[in-house]
Amino acid sequence: MPILDVQHIEKHFGTTRVLEDISFSLEQGQALAIIGSSGSGKTTLLRCINFLETPNQGRILVNGETLFDADDPATQRESEVRKKRLHFGLVFQSFNLFPQYTALENVTLAPGLLAQERPDFKQNKKAILEEIQAEGRRLLDKMGLADRAGHYPHQLSGGQQQRVAIARALALKPDILCFDEPTSALDPELTGEVLKVIRSLAEQKTTMIIVTHEMAFARDVADQVIFMDGGVIVEQGPARQVIETPREERTRQFLSRYSEN
């Protein structure tokens, strides 16, 4: 059974159809890269999967459980959607760190707020918060930022800020970690350090969806690749096959334009 099953997702903004009949599945421990030109629907798809946008049609299942069904209003209640977002961690292209908090505080904020909902929080508050702090430091160390825990975002490079954002997403222990063009806001020299972290997560079999314009990275790191154009999936399959020997003419045209840039 796949960890994620996306069935016939459609999204419209007014009369504009942004996504049409999107279906795919993702196995636990796999990395899926989504590629395509700007405006092809990649980010909208990711936002639908993370419940930041509400699809007009379709279903989303995680571990066999229906998290969203366009025909079932009960799956769309805000209280339910809030819980379902916890299945996904999202790393934005623009970092979205809280500027008034240190790196460690950014990583531990959400787990600390969630912990307050635990029935044993009042009795074990100190131990629980210490555990959250320790986990936050462990994640920053995993990102190579152990010595930056007390730094504020403005004291960090773009690459460091994005690595804090990755640690923050991992802190909630999501089933699936999602990246929306995680290197597009970075200078070329900082791109490598973020891609190295994502490559390491792939090697550790972290289940991931990566919207990216880094074709070589997608080929080498992802298990599967989806190519989107005009709001539809044009081609999907094993990463090397899609990128090195695409079957569809539209995919070939996109990749050839990319190689010329």
Closest CA to 182 of 53, 46, 85, 11: 46
pLDDT tens readout for residues 45-76 = 999 999 999 999 999 999 999 999 999 998 88
State yes or no: pLDDT of 212 exceeds 60: yes
State yes or no: pLDDT of 186 exceeds 90: no
The CATH number for 31's domain is 3.40.50.300
Please state, rounded to an integer, the average pLDDT across all residues of the chain.
Answer: 93
State yes or no: pLDDT of 111 exceeds 70: yes
User: Which residue reads 């760190």 in tokens?
Assistant: 97
CB 162, CB 144: distance < 8 Å: no
Amino acid identity at 226: I
pLDDT of residue 251: 96
Residue 260 pLDDT grade (very low, low, confident, very high; cuts 50, 70, 90): low
| Tokens matching residue 58 | 């379709």
State yes or no: pLDDT of 261 exceeds 60: no
Count the domains in the chain. 1
pLDDT tens readout for residues 1-52 = 899 999 999 999 999 999 999 999 999 999 999 999 988 999 999 999 999 9
Residue 130 sits in which domain range? 4-260
pLDDT of residue 1: 85
Calpha distance 100→20 (Å, rounded): 40
What is the DSSP secondary-structure string of 152-189? -GGGS-HHHHHHHHHHHHHHT--SEEEEESTTTTS-HH
> Percent of the chain scored above 70 by pLDDT?
99
pLDDT of residue 80: 80
pLDDT tens readout for residues 146-156 = 999 999 999 99
pLDDT of residue 95: 85
250 Cβ contact partners less than 8 Å away, ≥ 6 residues apart: 227, 229, 234, 235
Q: How many CB atoms lie within 10 A of CB 174?
A: 19
pLDDT of residue 77: 85
Closest CA to 115 of 133, 103, 102, 97: 133
pLDDT of residue 93: 86
pLDDT of residue 90: 92
State yes or no: pLDDT of 188 exceeds 90: no
Across the range 183-189, mean pLDDT stands at 85
CA-to-CA separations, 218 to 98, 209, 223, 236, in angstroms, rounded: 29, 11, 9, 13
Residue 259 pLDDT grade (very low, low, confident, very high; cuts 50, 70, 90): low
Calpha distance 177→224 (Å, rounded): 15
CB 38, CB 213: distance < 8 Å: no
Residue 103, helix vs strand vs coil: helix
Residue 145, helix vs strand vs coil: coil
Q: Is 138 exposed, middle or buried (0-12, 13-18, 19+ CB in 10 A)?
A: middle
